[in-house]
Amino acid sequence: MSEKLKAIVGHVDVNRDLILLLTIGGLYSISIFLSNTFVNIFLWKQAGDYATIAFYNLAVYIMQPLTFILAGRWAKKVDRVIVLRLGVTFLSLFFLTVLIMGDYAEKYNVILGGILGIGYGFYWLAFHVLTFEITEPETRDFFNGFFGLLQSLGGMIGPISAGFIISKMEANTGYTTIFTISLVLFVVAVICSFFLNRRSAEGEYNFRIILKERNNNNNWKRVLQANYSQGLREGIFLFVISIWVFLITDSEFALGTFNLIFSGFSFFVYYLATRLIKPKFRKTSILIGGLILYTSIYLIIFFKSYTVLLIYAAIIGFAYPIIYVPYFSISYDVIGTSWMAKEKRIEYIVVRELFLNSGRVSSILLFLIVTYLFDTDKSIPYLLATMGIGHLAISYFFRDIHLPGKKPNEENVEKENKPLINKEVAEDENR
- Say yes or no to pLDDT of 339 above 70: yes
Task: Provide the pLDDT confidence category of residue 6 given band limits of 50, 70 and 90.
Answer: low
CB < 8 Å & 24+ apart, contacts of 167-176: 167/251, 167/252, 167/253, 172/42, 172/102, 172/103, 174/252, 175/38, 175/42, 176/99, 176/102
Q: CA nearest 272: which of 285, 259, 283?
A: 285
Can you give the pLDDT at residue 308? 94
Q: How far apart are CA 331 and CA 412, in angstroms?
A: 22
CATH class belonging to 12-420: mainly alpha
- Say yes or no to pLDDT of 347 above 60: yes
CB environment 251-272: b (16+ within 10 A), e (fewer): ebbbbbbbbbbbbbbbbebbbe
Count of all residues that appear for the chain in the document: 431
Average pLDDT over residues 27-56: 89
CA angle 192, 23, 41 (to 5 degrees): 100
Which region among 179-193, 282-296, 305-319 has the lowest average model confidence (pLDDT)?
A: 179-193
Which region among 87-96, 191-200, 280-289 has the lowest average model confidence (pLDDT)?
A: 191-200
Q: Is residue 335 within 8 Å of 345, Cβ to Cβ?
A: yes
Can you give the pLDDT at residue 419? 30
Q: How far apart are CA 99 and CA 97, in angstroms?
A: 5
Give Cα 426 to chain centroid, integer Å: 29
Which region among 309-323, 353-367, 417-431 has the lowest average model confidence (pLDDT)?
A: 417-431
Can you give the pLDDT at residue 232? 95
Average pLDDT over residues 64-87: 87
User: pLDDT tens, 167-198?
Assistant: 888 767 888 899 889 888 888 888 888 887 76
Q: How far apart are CA 11 and CA 142, in angstroms?
A: 10
Residue extents of the structural domains in the chain: 12-420
Can you give the pLDDT at residue 153? 78
Task: Provide the pLDDT confidence category of residue 221 given band limits of 50, 70 and 90.
Answer: very high
CB environment 221-244: b (16+ within 10 A), e (fewer): bbbbbbbbbbbbbbbbbbbbbbbb
Q: How far apart are CA 249 and CA 169, in angstroms?
A: 18
Residue 106 is given by DSSP the state G
Q: CA nearest 157: which of 21, 266, 9?
A: 266
Q: How far apart are CA 275 and CA 266, in angstroms?
A: 14
